[in-house]
A and B are shown apart, each in its own frame.
Chain A
Amino acid sequence: MRVTVRLFARLRDLVGAGELARQVDPTANVAEVWGDLVREFPALAPYTSSISGAVNAEYARMDAPVADGDEVAFLPPVSGGGGAAGGGRAS
């Protein structure tokens, strides 16, 4: 089945796109969609323990099922929590 993957902030920068169309297993859950993405873009791997997931613009647990046509979003830690700096670059 086909899903639309949405990526934000640094995840979007790491992948180079904010929206991807992907084929996933018909029994896939949110974690499996992420796992496929990490295999394709290994730079995402450090975020595995800190991302939030959303399905169709609602927060979803990583074990939530995914259906054909769903929009599956992955959200890096948000700005407000601790104020730690994520990845960036010096110029």
Chain B
Amino acid sequence: MNPSEVAELVADPGRGAVTTFIGTVRRLNLGRRVERLEYEAYAPLAVRTFERIAAEAAERWPGSALAVHHRIGRLNVGEASVVIAAAAPHRADAFAVCRYGIERVKQIAPIWKREHFEGGDVWVEGATADPDDTRAREDALRRACA
């Protein structure tokens, strides 16, 4: 998963700014020493969800483009699990779209991780995924524009 390849997906002469976000597997989580993560996805719905998020971003930031790449399976500490690339005519929107993209992926993409740590493992469960939850979407917009 090469970030520059994901960035190429959104490159366009009309978009002068490209930002990328790389999420990697962190050593410590909730005080636990993480050994590895195991990601699982409902792949066809995940792809549709990524497309939906890109459409939401294009609606809010006209002229922007968003690409999302997420790995599944076993990942070791330090490995990239997700790459987001955003492009827009100007940098402020490119940063905002990138932030919006990762926030929405975390909220609504059907992707789960099982954390293997010293002494056990656990499925990490956050919030119910609901793409029509307007409060969640507004929260992502607020974070993107902070």
Which residues of A line the B interface, CB within 8 A? 6, 8-10, 13, 50-52, 54, 57-59, 73, 75-91
CB-CB under 8 A from A80, the residues of chain B are 105-107, 109, 126-127
**Given the complex of chains A and B, what is the CA–CA distance between A52 and B44 in angstroms?**
15
**Of B12-20, B90-98, B112-120, which binds chain A?**
B112-120
In addition to A77-B129, A81-B125, 15 A-B residue pairs with Cβ atoms within 8 Å of each other are A8-B42, A10-B123, A59-B45, A59-B49, A59-B131, A78-B112, A79-B126, A80-B126, A83-B126, A84-B125, A85-B30, A86-B124, A88-B114, A88-B115, A88-B121
Please determine whether A78 and B44 come into contact, CB atoms closer than 8 angstroms.
no
Please determine whether B42 and A76 come into contact, CB atoms closer than 8 angstroms.
no
**Given the complex of chains A and B, what is the CA–CA distance between A38 and B115 in angstroms?**
26
Name the CB-closest residue of B to A12: B40
- Ordered by A's residue number, 25 sampled pairs between the chains whose C-beta atoms are within 8 Å are A50-B125, A54-B110, A59-B129, A73-B110, A75-B110, A77-B125, A78-B106, A78-B109, A78-B127, A78-B128, A79-B113, A79-B126, A81-B106, A81-B125, A81-B126, A81-B129, A82-B126, A82-B127, A84-B124, A86-B122, A86-B123, A87-B123, A89-B121, A90-B119, A91-B121
Partner pick for A75 among B44, B115, B120, B129, CB 8 A cutoff: B129
Please determine whether A50 and B128 come into contact, CB atoms closer than 8 angstroms.
yes
CB-CB under 8 A from A75, the residues of chain B are 42, 110, 129
Please determine whether A79 and B111 come into contact, CB atoms closer than 8 angstroms.
yes
In the complex, per-residue mask of B38-59: 1 if CB is within 8 Å of any chain A CB, else 0: 0010101100110000000000
Please determine whether B129 and A78 come into contact, CB atoms closer than 8 angstroms.
yes
**Given the complex of chains A and B, what is the CA–CA distance between A13 and B123 in angstroms?**
10
Please determine whether A77 and B121 come into contact, CB atoms closer than 8 angstroms.
no
Please determine whether A91 and B119 come into contact, CB atoms closer than 8 angstroms.
yes
